Amino acid sequence: MPVFYDQLNREIKLAGAPKRIISVVPSQTELLFYLGLDKEVVGITKFCLYPEDKFKSTTKIGGTKQLDIAKIKALKPDLVIANKEENERGQIEELATFCPVWISDIYNLDGAVDMIERVGALVGREGEAKDLSQEIQQRFNTLSATPLNLRAAYFIWRKPYMVAGKNTFIDSMLQKCGLTNAFDTERYPEVSAAMLADANPDVILLSSEPYPFKEKHIAEFKAILPSATVKLVDGELFSWYGSRLLYAPEYFEKLSEELKSV
């Protein structure tokens, strides 16, 4: 019986190549389809939007933090692929009582590449995953964004305001853009308008997800910090750590170029 280890160093035993896979993380769902597992993926979350045709045709099993355990069990999966941060621990532990659950734990590009290669080996697509990881690394290696000497606040939520702090995948992507995080607190702290003013970032980035910031929100932040440059950014390219990473370096390079005039 093949034995694998997830990114929490948990042992995962599989009887063979999985034939009925459920993915409960959008970026990892997109990765599985990229690797050609069209028939094997039998369940996804309502947030697993890509590829669009697969989103429409694949059974939905709830949200990332509100999984329908009974529906998942009824699909009789032989593998669930999850993430430590995006899924609720109690629900993942419940899933593990009747199905192998492989869990990722990602804080930077190296962790994302490691996840891609481990998942590839797990699902019988080792060669395809290796090719993908090498292409992603090559594109990031050619990323020419230089340090901008700019401090950035990256907002992921409104009411209450929440930012991506240190020790997050988003923070590592900010560094790839040549930016320094304006907040030293780890993970995803709540911040007030006063805290934002005190942090005094040069740049405020409003993410398209999980909160869908729009143009109408820019004035709200300019009122708090008139001196800052406020920009909307593609949250998927800052926080999705699967095959979508192929497109991140080009996006970061353009963003870095735009910010050079700040």
pLDDT tens digits along 41-52? 999 999 999 999
Same domain, 157 and 100: no
Lowest mean per-residue pLDDT among 73-82, 113-122, 145-154, 231-240: 145-154
Same domain, 181 and 85: no
Does 182 reside within a domain? yes
Of 74, 105, 136, the position where a domain reaches its end is 105
Domain span holding position 249:
150-259
Query: For 196-213, what is the mean pLDDT?
Result: 97
Same domain, 157 and 249: yes
Of 70, 105, 140, the position where a domain reaches its end is 105
Does 112 reside within a domain? no
CA distance 150 to 124: 43
Same domain, 166 and 221: yes
Q: At what angle do helices 126-141 and 109-122 cross, to 10 degrees?
A: 160
CA distance 101 to 34: 20
The pLDDT score that the predictor gives to residue 3 is 87
Length of the chain: 262
The pLDDT score that the predictor gives to residue 148 is 87
Confidence of residue 145 (pLDDT cuts 50, 70, 90): low
Point out which residues pair with 12 in neighbouring strands. 4
Residue 22: enclosing H or E segment and its boundaries? strand 21-23
Does 172 reside within a domain? yes
Does 135 reside within a domain? no
Tell me the three state secondary structure of residue 224: helix
Q: Within 13 A of 107's CA, how many CA atoms are on the CB side?
A: 9
Does 120 reside within a domain? no
Does 187 reside within a domain? yes
Confidence of residue 32 (pLDDT cuts 50, 70, 90): very high
Residue with tokens 């050079």: 260
Of 105, 132, 161, the position where a domain reaches its end is 105
pLDDT above 90: residue 143: no
The pLDDT score that the predictor gives to residue 69 is 96
Does 115 reside within a domain? no
Same domain, 197 and 254: yes
More confident residue, 40 or 261: 40
Does 97 reside within a domain? yes
Model pLDDT for residues 164-195, shown as the tens digit of each residue: 999 999 999 999 999 999 999 999 999 999 99
Supply the DSSP symbol for 226. Answer: T
How many Cβ atoms sit within 10 Å of the Cβ of residue 249? 21
CATH of the domain at 180: 3.40.50.1980
For the CA atoms of 174, 103, 76, 124, the dihedral, rounded to the nearest 10 degrees, stands at 80
Same domain, 90 and 170: no
Mean pLDDT of the chain: 95
pLDDT above 90: residue 1: no
CA distance 42 to 81: 12
Same domain, 15 and 85: yes
Model pLDDT for residues 123-141, shown as the tens digit of each residue: 999 999 999 999 999 999 9
Domain count, the chain: 2
DSSP letter string over 163-222? E--BSSHHHHHHHHTTEEES--SBS--B--HHHHHHH--SEEEEESSSS---GGGHHHHH
CA distance 87 to 103: 9
Same domain, 191 and 97: no
- Integer angstrom CA distances of residue 67 from 33, 62, 63, 159: 20, 5, 5, 24
